[in-house]
Structure 1
């Protein structure tokens, strides 16, 4: 997802969310929780630890390792990364991260378009580095980043269309999407997100002539159809930002791993972390499934959707599975679609990315599926990933997901009728670590002082920050979290017992579909 914008925004149309299905599962008991931010320990000046253990080698963990390895202040610190990794064969070198990590895929949307001005600015900073392809060693070179533009749309009522096209009718200021965020403290809709994102993009374009020349409002389906260029459309209004595209996530992570390895400062350990080692007030390391214990002065927990299996994140974050499918294409079919932009509908969550390697990806950025599992970290069931590596039978999607993705193909690529019912070459769930607001968790754990730092909660939009995320995390480790993110990334204390939310639902306006779907229940509908 991504966006641009300017001017002011009037109040939004009423929104009635789809009811969640009735079920006996505890995951249908949507609780509410009151949370308060807890600042990182700052009572004493930061002193670099003698050893750091990073759990997880996805985009959060690996970018953190890279940032640590390049900072002089940590020159005497031993840095270790532990993750499950993958080994193609018993004799081969482990590949970090594991192939079922959310950071691993054929593509990820790279955008600067955000409803929140702080994320919009940070994503734009990251985008500048993605666009750097000056040399083969640059992040964006060798096909790792592909700039095709983004069409960001949503479904809106007629009054919302008028509001987006004529934002000056509001008394709010045109400096950013902050006014919209202040107006909506509860649930936001896709059109809310698109509108605020448009405001932020236009505000940023005031200082960037290239960006200003590449954003354009799409006020109706005809304009959207023209911008997409496939004869298809989606949504009723939105905009196009040519200053966006997609990254080959797998190759980008391989690039990052090679950069980390080249520092010769980071040790990698292949293993599954089964538990944190801790006392009442300090974390001292981690125990592996093999029985081995890794010790460190500071543990950075960056295990993505597996984080709730190691730390109680009730009310703060949960793992949700998002539907992804891949469609094989002929050379001719790929050529005919190669000029299209990314198309993302924030009301339905459905999106397609231009094809590569004769494969078209269609997916859904939604509330996702829950996989309730027992856990030693929480009294309530915890949603944890189920992937084709952890559960070999997890190779197909629930029927409602398949139907939804097929509808996207018909709507977005109507003239390519041969693709509408073609069997997918692969189906899978991509596991997000969702937070209620879509904000990351980048903070020390208040109970354990400076011995446990949590870096997770990517909420389906963390990958694009690969070039800048590690430095921001290490800034926070040093007690220098950027001011605009201090509250957003802080550890949130939640109520105890029955007051704790059983389910975390991301309500930042970027999600489509129905919240609270349980994976096993939906898979059972396969008949």
Structure 2
């Protein structure tokens, strides 16, 4: 690509964070014929899940953190991203040439801190490694241990004292040990995507966002098997020198070469609606409450994360202790997990409004112990959702040309931690496309690689007989009577 003219046609399939950021940075570097295709009419739906968007990027909020244990590459990319998040906030505040629906009072990043905590009496080795790595890279006192008086004083000086004990454990005489990543916080995901889309358009990127005209159908192939572009559901062919697949949870089923490297997996989400009259309204605001992660490395009985309330009063709690799958047999006879959502029934005859019972049990057990005010005030579940990610076996992204498929490039494998890089990941992706500084640790980790090893973080492609397959687990939704039976 380094020798390719900036006039060359480049197609990107998918307008989630990978596709948006890639388009933005290609356009920023002067590529003049970049077109993004997506079946979601995002100009109308505004990346809102409640309006029918079912991609992982279409969400109310996502966690921003720089804490990554000993993984310096992701840590430093996080700090790089945060600086740009702050720039985007400043651009919004300036109020000049904003996309429809956004105003100068909107923010896309709130530095409320990100708390990783545990019910153990000792910090997890990951947290200890994070502190050590931060200090070695010149980020001393960004990671604040919640039972260290000096660190609590630092948090207070930064307006984050409440983030050290957001669940009021100390007031209740209970233990609460964790590490507050004071550099992190929350991004308002749907607004961030809309702003990124707007910025990419300003720089000349084109978008086809339509259920038919923007929907990928198949690849255009030469007689030698080179990918020469993509066909969309309206029957049109879109020739391109490079086709980039950035389709979120759909990518592994559209690019079968990813077998064993990537799989679509479902995270479980429960949302509560906090009324303004609640004692939790002020306490859970972004000014007083952090994003948080609880027992993230404890298997099926842990893996929870959550957020401060939104402006509308929604509090989201997610579960990734078990990553569920939806295996379906495809035309080549191979079973691959494909997303099934509240909205997908229009296309497949299936829909999913519930979440697995195991997820609900862990979430409810946590909230009964850590946020009992929900039950005391009669605040009930407003919505349940399965959010589909694309996991790799090692949790590293995949950013590379597809072997044996000249002209085809994939950007996938977010593994539940990619959204924070919306402002800057595209710059790295374009470096890969152009072959710039590809010896950097992050880019080396994202290269195309063999299938899962014994040391895999995630076990993939267990198929329809696997214990994580949704067809094999009991589901439950927001219905109070159903949940009462658990």
The TM-score range, normalised by the shorter chain, is 0.7 to 0.9
* Structure 1 counterpart of 2:458: 506
* Structure 2 counterpart of 1:231: 168
Alpha carbons of structure 1 residues 148 and 273: separation in structure 2 relative to 1, 3 Å: same
Cα separation, 2, equivalents of 1:201 and 1:485: 17
1:57 and 2:20 are equivalent in the alignment: no
1:487 and 2:444 are equivalent in the alignment: yes
Cα separation, 2, equivalents of 1:259 and 1:516: 43
Cα separation, 2, equivalents of 1:403 and 1:154: 18
* Structure 1 counterpart of 2:284: 337
Alpha carbons of structure 1 residues 229 and 483: separation in structure 2 relative to 1, 3 Å: closer
Task: Please list the CA deviations of residues 363-399 of structure 1 after superposition, one character each: whole Å capped at 9, or x if unmatched.
Answer: 11334110001224x6431001001221263112122
Q: Is the 8 A contact 1:367 1:506 kept in 2?
A: no
Cα separation, 2, equivalents of 1:269 and 1:414: 43
Q: Is the 8 A contact 1:278 1:285 kept in 2?
A: yes
Q: Secondary structure at the match of 2:40?
A: coil
* Structure 2 counterpart of 1:240: 180
* Structure 1 counterpart of 2:145: 217
Q: Is the 8 A contact 1:154 1:235 kept in 2?
A: no
The one of the two structures with greater contact order (alpha-carbon pairs below 8 A, sep at least 6) is: 1
* Structure 2 counterpart of 1:9: none
* TM-score normalised by structure 1 residue count: 0.73
* Cα displacement (A) at 1:343: 2.0
Number of positions where the alignment pairs a residue of Structure 1 with one of Structure 2 = 424
Cα separation, 2, equivalents of 1:452 and 1:226: 45
Task: Please list the CA deviations of residues 151-179 of structure 1 after superposition, one character each: whole Å capped at 9, or x if unmatched.
Answer: 112455x6xx3xx5xxxxxxxxxxxxxxx
1:251 and 2:208 are equivalent in the alignment: no
1:518 and 2:453 are equivalent in the alignment: no
* Structure 2 counterpart of 1:146: 110
1:371 and 2:326 are equivalent in the alignment: yes
Cα separation, 1, equivalents of 2:44 and 2:275: 34
Cα separation, 1, equivalents of 2:240 and 2:175: 50
Gaps of at least 5 residues in structure 2 are 99-103, 153-160, 460-465, 477-481
* Cα displacement (A) at 1:150: 1.4
Cα separation, 1, equivalents of 2:75 and 2:175: 22
Q: Secondary structure at the match of 1:253?
A: helix
Q: Secondary structure at the match of 2:387?
A: strand
Q: Is the 8 A contact 1:46 1:479 kept in 2?
A: no
* Structure 2 counterpart of 1:461: 417
Alpha carbons of structure 1 residues 49 and 311: separation in structure 2 relative to 1, 3 Å: farther
* Cα displacement (A) at 1:454: 0.7
* Cα displacement (A) at 1:342: 1.8
Moved more, 95-104 or 316-325: 95-104
* Cα displacement (A) at 1:229: 3.2
Cα separation, 1, equivalents of 2:44 and 2:166: 44
* Cα displacement (A) at 1:146: 1.2
* TM-score normalised by structure 2 residue count: 0.79
Q: Secondary structure at the match of 2:68?
A: coil
Q: Is the 8 A contact 1:96 1:257 kept in 2?
A: no
* Cα displacement (A) at 1:516: 4.5
Task: Please list the CA deviations of residues 105-157 of structure 1 after superposition, one character each: whole Å capped at 9, or x if unmatched.
Answer: 1110011111211111111111122233334267997222112111112455x
* Structure 1 counterpart of 2:127: 194
1:272 and 2:215 are equivalent in the alignment: yes
Q: Secondary structure at the match of 1:439?
A: coil
* Structure 1 counterpart of 2:55: 101
Cα separation, 1, equivalents of 2:92 and 2:237: 40
Cα separation, 2, equivalents of 1:151 and 1:94: 32
Alpha carbons of structure 1 residues 411 and 225: separation in structure 2 relative to 1, 3 Å: farther
* Cα displacement (A) at 1:295: 1.8
Q: Is the 8 A contact 1:228 1:341 kept in 2?
A: no
Q: Is the 8 A contact 2:467 2:473 kept in 1?
A: no
1:79 and 2:63 are equivalent in the alignment: no
Task: Please list the CA deviations of residues 343-369 of structure 1 after superposition, one character each: whole Å capped at 9, or x if unmatched.
Answer: 211131112211112111111133411
Alpha carbons of structure 1 residues 80 and 520: separation in structure 2 relative to 1, 3 Å: same
Q: Secondary structure at the match of 2:445?
A: coil
Q: Is the 8 A contact 2:167 2:371 kept in 1?
A: yes
After the TM superposition, which residues 47-446 of structure 1 pair with which residues of structure 2 at under 5 Å, given as runs? 48=6, 50-72=8-30, 74-75=31-32, 78-86=33-41, 99-115=53-69, 116-132=71-87, 133-136=89-92, 142-154=106-118, 156=120, 161=122, 191-204=124-137, 206=138, 208=139, 212-218=140-146, 227-232=164-169, 237-270=177-210, 271-279=214-222, 280-312=224-256, 313-331=258-276, 332=278, 333-338=280-285, 339-345=288-294, 346=296, 347=298, 348-356=302-310, 357-376=312-331, 379-391=333-345, 393-418=351-376, 422-446=379-403
Cα separation, 2, equivalents of 1:442 and 1:372: 24
Q: Is the 8 A contact 2:24 2:205 kept in 1?
A: no
Gaps of at least 5 residues in structure 1 are 1-41, 165-190, 495-499, 508-514
* Cα displacement (A) at 1:242: 1.8
Alpha carbons of structure 1 residues 65 and 397: separation in structure 2 relative to 1, 3 Å: same
Q: Is the 8 A contact 1:232 1:411 kept in 2?
A: no
Cα separation, 2, equivalents of 1:265 and 1:107: 25
* Structure 1 counterpart of 2:101: none
